[in-house]
A and B are shown apart, each in its own frame.
Chain A
Amino acid sequence: MRLVCPAGSPPALQAAIDHGADAVYVGFRDQTNARAFPGLNFTEEDLRRGIAYAHARGRHVYVALNTYPSPSGLGAWEAAVDRAAGLGVDALICADMGVLDYAMRRHPSVPRHLSVQGSATTHAALRYYRERFGIARAVLPRVLSLQQVERLCEQDVVPIEVFAFGSLCIMVEGRCQLSSYVTGASPNRHGVCSPAKSVRWIEEADGVRSVTLNDRLIDRFAPDEPAGYPTVCKGRYDVRGEVFHALEEPTSLNTLELLPRLQAAGVVALKVEGRQRGQAYVASVTRVWREALDRLARNPQGWEPDPAWQRELARHAEGRQTTLGPYHRSWH
């Protein structure tokens, strides 16, 4: 299994490579990717250097162009495809069919990966993308149980990449309009979820902090209560007279203990989430997963997760909790 790690900046890319990523995925500094945050991502020159750094060490760089352009915006996405291909990236990660089609026709030799945002959950859907756009790999949405992932791998339509670690989208990626409903900015169109410019923290006299998104109350925190970033899905709301995390508690995905099963299933790549995270996160998470994968390769039968790995990963988990997420039926 190849380890695919995130980089939101050149130092993060270098950290991922130095700590053992087989491939690093990045985005341009615009709306063409699903982490279009201020101060994040790569200029053309950054990418050129990043690719040189990775290739010199036998590693790969993928470029995510995984948002959905409007009719008038399509040209900018096509230009980004050309730019990435011209720089010699090892794969393009796309969701929009128009972008995939363009990439296939214009740069047939650059492998195309179906982004998680493409939301393909069955072998029929994967067949569509393979037949139509010749995809070389598909990243599965974080909605399938491990058994379902195993079955999809068995069908062998296209090599499968799954999310292994990082923040957890509770909704099917590519089909969530909660941010757009509240803020007008959507992951699909703008590459952002619940953007910081729409967030407002209000401190009350008693020390209680309220957080709103475009003036809609997402949560309220007691003075010493840890407060997370207010994406719509992670707020606390009232349903049937009870206030709780009605959609999702702030947790992170951590599949470390599933590693042998993912390998046995035939998953070809593991993805670490977090292009918005810093260099330290990338270095530490990459190091742990590299070690885990190497140890699995050496001793597939006797492999066990090292408690030190879990402690290290837990440091980076959102809300300091980790979960097997949808891979585990009881989570559903």
Chain B
Amino acid sequence: MRLTLGPLQYFWPRDTVYAFYREAAQWPLDVIYLGETVCSKRRELRTRDWIELAHELADTGREVVLSSLALLEAESELSALRRLVENGRLRVEANDMSAVQLLRERGLPFVGGPALNVYNHSTLRLLQQDGLQRLVLGVEFGRATIEELRAHTDPLPELEVAGWGRLPLAYSARCFTARALDLAKDDCGFRCIEHPDGLPLTSRDGTPFLTVNGIQVQTSGACDLGPELDELRAAGVDLVRLYPQREGMAEIVTRFRRALDEAGTLPRHGEENGYWRGTAGMLRIDAS
């Protein structure tokens, strides 16, 4: 299995982003995904900056993929998407059907992102005709569904599964960070920048529950499939994705790299794996 760095889901200051990817360029990763997937108002890096950074990273010989926005509403967002699609060199991870359409119209092969609704072989086959070469499985996908997909699909594209990080669970027109700070979305002051790992949301009994990240809602803790790496291998997963977080990323990458190189597994550092077992995502069910 290969190791990938998923797109940065948070809003970090420009210098922090550049420093992060300078470091990431040194990490033992096979693929780096980058680009703004959550909110087009986050412009510490503009689309052309992301493309330039992606091209620089690709110059080091690494596979680099540009990730597209999951929820498009405005014409300006489509224009940014067009620039991404026409970057002239790198593949794009399509995170909505607008991206699929722009890629397909240009005959460009692409990666299907986790925000596309691909639940069965028939949908997958249609997207393969459109140019899909790799599918990052949606968060609800578990082991059993992968096996089902495999039984029905020939040839399968490369399959990628999120192995570490807070999972994206929902997107909205409303900005929950702005709401929490009692700001209008149109006048949000880009305050997401103050929350480099999102804003924690807890139940009224104090149980950590979700993470608010602008217009996106995520799991509270980092989903961790380190202990299930054997099962991922057995299911024929080709790539394991790690989602960036503010602290400790180098160590997480190193840990997963070692486990992949040694064909081993990892002790659990993170949280729930319910989706992998075909149950509620928040449930933590360790292998028996």
Contacts and interface: CB of A to CB of B under 8 A. Distances in A.
Interface in B197-221: 199-207, 209-210, 212, 217, 219
B117 interface: yes
A218 interface: yes
B180 A184 contact: no
A142 B98 CA distance: 17
B120 A69 contact: yes
Interface stretch (A91-99, A260-268, A313-321): A91-99
B173 A182 contact: no
A229 interface: no
A151 B206 CA distance: 44
B21 interface: no
A109 to B, nearest CB: 21
Interface in A202-251: 214, 216-220, 233, 235-240, 242-243, 246-248
A91 to B, nearest CB: 20
Nearest to A247: B176
Given A119-B117, A122-B78, A178-B217, A238 B170 contact: no
Interface stretch (B6-14, B49-57, B146-154, B251-259): B146-154
A52 interface: no
A176 interface: yes
B263 interface: no
A132 B100 CA distance: 12
Contacts of A43: none
A70 interface: yes
Given A71-B152, A216-B203, A330-B184, A181 B127 contact: no
B280 interface: yes
B148 A239 contact: no
Contact of A182 (B97, B119, B212, B280): B280
A8 interface: no
Contacts of A172: 71, 170-173
Contact of A214 (B74, B123, B280): B280
Contacts of A236: 204
A95 B119 CA distance: 11
B73 A121 contact: yes
B40 interface: no
Interface in B260-288: 274-275, 278-283
Contacts of A118: 97, 117
Contacts of A129: 97
Contacts of A240: 180, 199
A214 B174 CA distance: 26
B237 interface: no
A332 B186 contact: yes
Contacts of B159: none
Contact of B120 (A71, A144, A174, A329): A71
Contacts of A123: 78
B119 A237 contact: no
A326 B173 contact: yes
Interface string A159-194: 000000000001110111110111110101100000
A331 B178 CA distance: 11
B244 to A, nearest CB: 20
B16 interface: no
Interface in B58-74: 70-74
B167 to A, nearest CB: 8
Nearest to B153: A71
Interface in B153-198: 153, 167, 169-176, 179-180, 184-186
A200 to B, nearest CB: 14
Contacts of B98: 121-122, 124-125, 128
19 contacts: A68-B117, A98-B120, A98-B121, A124-B101, A125-B97, A127-B101, A148-B73, A172-B71, A172-B171, A175-B115, A178-B170, A178-B210, A184-B283, A188-B140, A218-B203, A237-B209, A239-B202, A240-B199, A246-B179
Interface of B: 70-75, 77-78, 81, 96-98, 100-102, 104, 115, 117, 119-123, 126-127, 139-140, 145, 148-149, 151-153, 167, 169-176, 179-180, 184-186, 199-207, 209-210, 212, 217, 219, 274-275, 278-283
Given A181-B280, A238-B203, A239-B180, 6 more contacts: A71-B121, A73-B120, A128-B100, A175-B71, A239-B202, A248-B174
